[in-house]
Amino acid sequence: MESAASFQQALKVPSSHGSSLDSMEEHGKRKATVANVHVVIVEATNLKMVDKKGSNDPYCVLGLVQQGSSNLDIDKEQWAQGSPKNSPLPSRKLKQRQPSLECSDAYKTQTIKGTLSPRWNEEFILPVHNLPKEELHVYLWNHDGGCRCCSSEAPCHKKPSGFKNFLKAIKHNLENSHHFDDLMGMVAVPLKDLSTTPIDRWFDMKKHGNSQNNQHGRLRLQLNLIPTQREDDQCSLEDYYEVVEKMYNHAAEYKNEEDIVELSAATKKILEKFADRNNISRMTQCLIELVLFLEWTASSEKPSFTDRQISGAMISMEQALIQLRPLGAVCTETELSMFLRACQSYTQHYLYSLAQLPQVFPPDTAHFEQLAAQLSLILRLIHLKIDSSGSAFAPLKDRIHAQIQSDVNTWIEAKADEIRSDQIDSVIPETAGLVELIDEACILSTPTTAHKEFFLSMGIDYFKHVSLAMDRIFSCKAQALMLQMNKYLFRYQKFPDNVNRASKISLKLYLHLKKLHESVKSNCSSRDLFKMSLRDYTEWFKDAVIFWLQTFKIECDKRIEKSLEIDRDFVPVTSLVKYSNSSVDVLSCFAKITAEWNQICFGDADSFVMGVTKITDTICDGARRYADKISCILERNGYYDKDREAFDITDQLCITLNNIEHVRQYLKELPALLRWTEVVEAVSLKHESDSIGRKTERTLHRLRKTASSDLLMKSDQLLQKIAERMSSDIRRHIAVFTNVPTTETDKKGKEKPHSGHATDSLLLYIDSNLQTLYERLLSSVYPHIMAAIWKVIVRCIDEDLLNGQHPDYYTQIQKYVDILHSYFTQNGMQYVDIDGCYGNLRDRLQLNSCSTEEIILQHFQSLADDVSTPVFESYGQVAMKVGYMEETHGVVTLFVKVISCTNLPGLDRSGLSDPYVALDLQPRTLFPEVKTQKTRVVMANLNPVYNEIFVFHGIGKDMMSKPGACLQMTIMDFDCLVADDFAGEVLVSLSSINPMAFNEHVEDQPVIIRSLLRPTGHCQELKVMEARVSWDDAAKTFLAERHNVIYNQPERTDQKDVMVTVTGSPSLSTLTSNLLSFFGGSSKN
């Protein structure tokens, strides 16, 4: 009563209303609804049979009970409280079977008849009064037909009927000797395990009070916890705040001995009862008290509360939040607004009272602990997590942001003062110092978990603000230094040492700025990127790029020179295959260049292309220089000296070849290492032209292929020198079968083939050397050395081959060559005839292996096949008609009509000729009985007309298809006193002449026009014949005939140049003029 009077006095309530205050204690006994649980009973399955009829009639009863109060036994007290007076007590049997629910409301579903898998899909909403201690109990019953309380004829209520009503029905059945329904199982679900998120799951049912039994089926439930809202007719939040404020105003008038404003325990109890009566939750009570403490402390007109009191209010608030947070909604908008306003006022007041915050950069745990101690109360307010937006603590964030920027600026400026230099070219040491400073800054801006979480708890992204502050300061300093650096580079561009030093330092600055830029980007969000000053840092280094590339080249050359000076160790690839450390060192240099360029990674497409092209050229040029120098070292050591008595395959030779190949193979990786595809795409995209991209790609590939070809050429030169050194031994072995007869005479004087294999010694020699090379050379080099040795063998055979021997000699040599060729191809030689030497040797052996008659036929066939018109000088044309008619016994008759000649050369002093045509069938060995036929002589005419027909009888039909058999038409200039002059000849292959029917005449054949040709003595057939003259009469006769026309070709007297004129084809004359001009000739040559 004393506390009620105090409460009445604080609120200034008249005494007549005292009874209403006293009634608050009775009202506190009521249970307020804090939430509702939404239950959907869906279905059950796997139920056991309990009905003697062979099927069940299941239904469910559900309600909320206090934990530990649910009891299946119906004791006397429960029965007396839940049933009307004088109700009979249940029997012992019923006492063991029947349940009871200690709750105010019970709910029941419909009864599903005759099934063990019932489906209900019925919804219920149950009020929750004590969330942590209440449980949802669902009982599954089997309806007994004699029980009226659950009769199917009775209506099924979804509204709560009350547990008392349920017991009344049981009592009524017992009084009338009815059987009660059978309990099939139950499910208990603690409400504290539920949330506002709906769940749908199966629960295993068990017998009530017997956890040892097996499960009795499964029940499917859908559960959802729904927080309740206060009714509008209750006491408002503002009214309750005013009540609490008045209570503390009253308490402030009567402070305790410690001068602390504090409510008595009785007053607090009255406030709690008042809050319960008005359905004000515990969380709201704690929030109002905390808001009052914060506002009074921040106000200069109100008494302040101690830190202990504020901390206690926070603890009460935390406990209330722990209980209500699972329900979802925590605060109303009004409560949140009051809390935010109070927190903001308190934060401003608290920060104003602080003279200075501890240093927050560089990050230091001791400083952060000091900051946490100073801001302990504010941090606890933040940790309540009521303000998700963080707006209430904006002053704190602004204060810490300003402190971060100030500390970062102070730290950088202090470090920058240490690196300032008074030297003449101070840009070099200052840039080096800035590089070290940026490196240290990158370390400090790398997030650590503890520090990041500490500031995130206050809603501050510490490392983002640190990074942005560094970005702003370092961008200004770096840009200013690069302006000075560019001037330095251009001023000293003719001094390589200065440029090299400055380029290295500026490149380090670029790479460290790139690292800082990446660090800032990783610490910031995408919407903060526009604030970054370093986003354009690549623009500051455009002028320095060309000097970097120049430095790459200088360093590459130095590295190559140094690697060759200390080249003593070998790197084994296998047990025998090796290459020296110089190649490894050179490739390390190339890899370093590519790695540094990839680190540079310019964003500008044109600079990107220029850099990649220059790097590619630097590496390719370095590979060429290395190959040249290492081969020169080998030559300088006298490895190829011809005065050396013997030639052996040594490690030095193999290692040199492997070194060159090792470097050459690296060039194949350049497209991937330097990202050529990205380069092409970038330049094509910038200029919106695929052709520019393709040109760039072709340029890069051309650089690589040219360098690779040069290295292959260098290897081939070395291999060729090796082969040349082996040529003396090879030639000695080749002489075994090239300089001795291929046959030997038996006892009777007859020739027989030479015994044994003449190539054995050569193959043994080659095999021993190739085996050594195969074991010591890289697999990609071995085919080249085989090709070089094969080339030497072919050349030696061609040079040592004897001329003018019998065909059998050349046939045997061809077999030896085939054996050697088979050996090389089987051992992996890929390049058989690169320069045509092998093909020329085969042609020579094949021609010399033929008989004289076969060679003559080949000669005439080649002349007959040449139907081209001379480009530079023409000796006229012959018009003719030819055909043959088949006679009896495989004999044909050849008809030839000589029509005319045109543009013949003048061979007389008058500039004219007295031409006639002589007709023969060649070669004469095939047509020994055929006589030469001639036309009449047309005097003083260069365009004679004959129209004469000639007939050749008795020609074998098989001759018309024999290669080399031809009709020879020789145009001669008739002279009276001296031998006739040769003007030219035309040969027509007999196989090209068309047959005529019996009713056809040669006049019916088409006209053939052929140009006159003057043969030369340069053809291979004539050379072979000349070599056989000493022992072959047929060759001697044939040569005499051909020499008569070859060496009897007088110069023409009509004009010295007769160009070919083709009617309707002016382009041919133009071509002739151009060709004359190309060879330096004049029109009168």
CB 20 within 8 A of CB 261: no
Structure tokens at 563: 């690697």
- Each residue's pLDDT tens digit, 251-275: 888 766 667 888 888 888 888 888 8
pTM: 0.57
Q: How many CB atoms lie within 10 A of CB 589?
A: 22
Average pLDDT of the chain is: 81
Structure tokens at 1077: 């001009």
Q: Above pLDDT 70, what percent of the chain?
A: 80
First to last CA, the chain: 147
Lowest mean pLDDT segment, chosen from 120-134, 484-498, 646-660: 646-660
Lowest mean pLDDT segment, chosen from 114-118, 130-134, 228-232: 228-232
Q: How far apart are CA 1085 and CA 1075, in angstroms?
A: 13
SS (H, E, C) 807-876: HHHHHHHHHHHHHHHHHHHHCCCCCCCCCCHHHHHHHHHHHHCCCHHHHHHHHHHHHHHCCCCCCCCCCC
Average pLDDT of the segment spanning 776-793: 85
- What does the pLDDT read at residue 379? 87
- What does the pLDDT read at residue 665? 92
- Each residue's pLDDT tens digit, 458-494: 888 999 999 999 999 999 999 999 999 999 999 998 8
pLDDT above 90 for 902 = yes
Q: What is the DSSP string of 44-77?
A: EESPPP--TTSS--EEEEEEEEETTT-BS---HH
Say which residue, 20 or 484, is predicted with more confidence: 484
pLDDT above 70 for 568 = no
- Each residue's pLDDT tens digit, 794-822: 999 998 899 989 999 999 999 999 999 88
The three-state secondary structure class of 185 is: strand
pLDDT above 90 for 666 = yes
The three-state secondary structure class of 1013 is: strand
Q: How far apart are CA 207 and CA 139, in angstroms?
A: 9
- As a residue count, the chain comes to 1085
Lowest mean pLDDT segment, chosen from 298-302, 328-332, 350-354: 328-332
Backbone angles phi, psi at 280, to 5 degrees: -95, 120
Q: What is the DSSP letter of 246?
A: H
Q: Which residues of 727-750 are buried (b: 16+ CB within 10 A; e: fewer)?
A: beebbebbebbbeeebeeeeeeee
The number of CA neighbours under 13 Å toward the Cβ of 1023 is 7
Residue 318 vs residues 268, 311, 636: alpha-carbon distances, Å: 19, 10, 89
CB 465 within 8 A of CB 407: no
Can you list the positions of beta strands (E) in 288-359? none
- Each residue's pLDDT tens digit, 86-124: 333 333 333 333 333 344 578 899 999 888 899 999 999
The three-state secondary structure class of 1070 is: helix
Say if residue 923 is preceded by a cis peptide, omega within 30 of 0: yes
Residue 50 vs residues 96, 183, 855: alpha-carbon distances, Å: 17, 9, 118
Q: Which among 1017, 1016, 964, 954 is positioned nearest to 988, based on CA atoms?
A: 964
Strand order in the sheet with 218-227: 119-128, 35-45, 218-227, 199-204
Q: Which among 284, 314, 327, 289 is positioned nearest to 384, based on CA atoms?
A: 314
- What does the pLDDT read at residue 1001? 92
Strand order in the sheet with 933-934: 933-934, 915-922, 966-973, 981-989
Lowest mean pLDDT segment, chosen from 660-664, 963-967, 1063-1067: 1063-1067
| Residue 469 CB contacts under 8 Å (≥ 6 apart), including other chains | 404, 405, 408, 409
Lowest mean pLDDT segment, chosen from 566-575, 602-611, 924-933, 1075-1084: 1075-1084
CA 101 to chain centre: 68
pLDDT above 70 for 21 = no
The sign of the CA dihedral 686, 688, 691, 694 is positive
CB 947 within 8 A of CB 899: yes
Lowest mean pLDDT segment, chosen from 15-29, 577-591, 859-873, 957-971: 15-29
Q: How far apart are CA 1024 and CA 700, in angstroms?
A: 51
- What does the pLDDT read at residue 1024? 92
Structure tokens at 925: 């060995």
Instruction: Give the confidence band of 856 by pLDDT, cuts at 50, 70, 90.
Output: very high
- What does the pLDDT read at residue 238? 84
Q: Which long-range contacts (CB under 8 A, 24 or more apart) does 997-1002 make?
A: 997/885, 998/885, 1000/883, 1000/885, 1001/895, 1002/881, 1002/882, 1002/883, 1002/895, 1002/896, 1002/897, 1002/949
The sign of the CA dihedral 366, 372, 375, 377 is negative
Say which residue, 785 or 933, is predicted with more confidence: 933
Lowest mean pLDDT segment, chosen from 170-179, 436-445, 792-801, 820-829: 170-179
- Each residue's pLDDT tens digit, 386-425: 877 777 888 888 889 999 999 999 999 998 888 888 778 8
The sign of the CA dihedral 820, 826, 827, 830 is positive
Q: How far apart are CA 425 and CA 421, in angstroms?
A: 9
Residue 608 vs residues 273, 538, 689, 702, 816: alpha-carbon distances, Å: 78, 11, 16, 18, 59
CB 847 within 8 A of CB 1021: yes
The number of CA neighbours under 13 Å toward the Cβ of 360 is 23
Average pLDDT of the segment spanning 488-515: 90
- What does the pLDDT read at residue 164? 47
Average pLDDT of the segment spanning 433-441: 92
- What does the pLDDT read at residue 404? 92
